[in-house]
Amino acid sequence: MSFKYTPATLRKLEQLFGEASFIVRYEKGTFQSGCCLLEDRKVVVVNRFLSTEGRINALLEILPNVAPDAEKISPEWLPFYQAAQNQRTQPQAAENA
């Protein structure tokens, strides 16, 4: 599954974080990687000045840090979750080749 950088994909990622009991917020700030993870509160804060592509990349970047159990994710979201995990590993594999 190839990710398209569209607002629909962004909404799906936000819903996926919701499945993992995380709240996604867009706030202004000076973030090094475009996002900040507040683990104790289960809140993901993404820089609101990022483009849609930047927001998607930021959420994909922190998805492994959140690492929700596949058992906790509903069956309808499982394929999207696995595709999101694969999306983060594909660019790294291309760089290492």
- Would 95 be classed as within a structural domain? no
Flag whether 52 is in a domain.
yes
Residue 50 lies inside a defined structural domain of this protein: yes
Q: Is residue 81 part of a domain?
A: yes
pLDDT at 8: 92
**At residue 66, what are phi and psi to the nearest 5 degrees?**
-75, -45
Q: Token pair of 4, please?
A: 């398209």
Return d(Cα 65, Cα 1) in angstroms, integer.
21
pLDDT tens per residue, range 81-97:
778 877 765 544 444 44
Answer yes or no: is 49 within a domain. yes
In a domain, 1, yes or no: no
Query: How far apart are alpha carbons 55 and 94 in whole angstroms?
Result: 22
Answer yes or no: is 22 within a domain: yes
Per-residue model confidence as pLDDT tens digits over 29-65: 776 666 666 767 888 888 888 899 999 888 888 887 7
> Structural domain tally of the chain?
1
Confidence of residue 7 (pLDDT cuts 50, 70, 90): very high
**For residue 83, is it within any domain?**
yes
Residues of the domain holding 15: 7-89
The SS3 call for residue 62 is: helix
